[in-house]
Amino acid sequence: KAGVTQTPRYLIKTRGQQVTLSCSPISGHRSVSWYQQTPGQGLQFLFEYFSETQRNKGNFPGRFSGRQFSNSRSEMNVSTLELGDSALYLCASSSSPGITGELFFGEGSRLTVL
């Protein structure tokens, strides 16, 4: 059974550009959540999607957005990139919200903003 797949794994952008990251959850999983990891702030929750609906959103500016498709794949977008957006972006999937003890992460997308 394939794990959570995130693409691209690495990318470099410049300030002001936008970026789209993709996450394919484990087959059969319908819940996807996103996290940002930086050395200074640690791991912070971005948003969570279930059945194409955003269920929760973390404390991030509106430049950060996401969506989920009918096949449960999810994308997140960051517009007008800032240097501080450089981070590892991690996606996690579970079969459905509240199914405890079952939350698996991908390898992440490492974004560098120059």
Partner 1 sequence: AQKITQTQPGMFVQEKEAVTLDCTYDTSDQSYGLFWYKQPSSGEMIFLIYQGSYDEQNATEGRYSLNFQKARKSANLVISASQLGDSAMYFCAMTRAPGGSEKLVFGKGMKLTVNP
Summarize as ranges the residues that interact with partner 1 (CB under 8 A). 31, 33, 35, 42-43, 45, 48, 55-56, 58, 88, 90, 92, 94, 97-108, 110
Shortest separation between residue 16's beta carbon and partner 1, angstroms: 26
Rounded Cα–Cα distance for residues 52 and 31 (Å): 9
- Residue 62 or 101 having the CB closest to partner 1: 101
Compute the C-alpha angle 25/84/16, nearest 5°.
Answer: 90
Rounded Cα–Cα distance for residues 32 and 21 (Å): 13
- Residue 30 or 79 having the CB closest to partner 1: 30
- Residue 79 or 107 having the CB closest to partner 1: 107
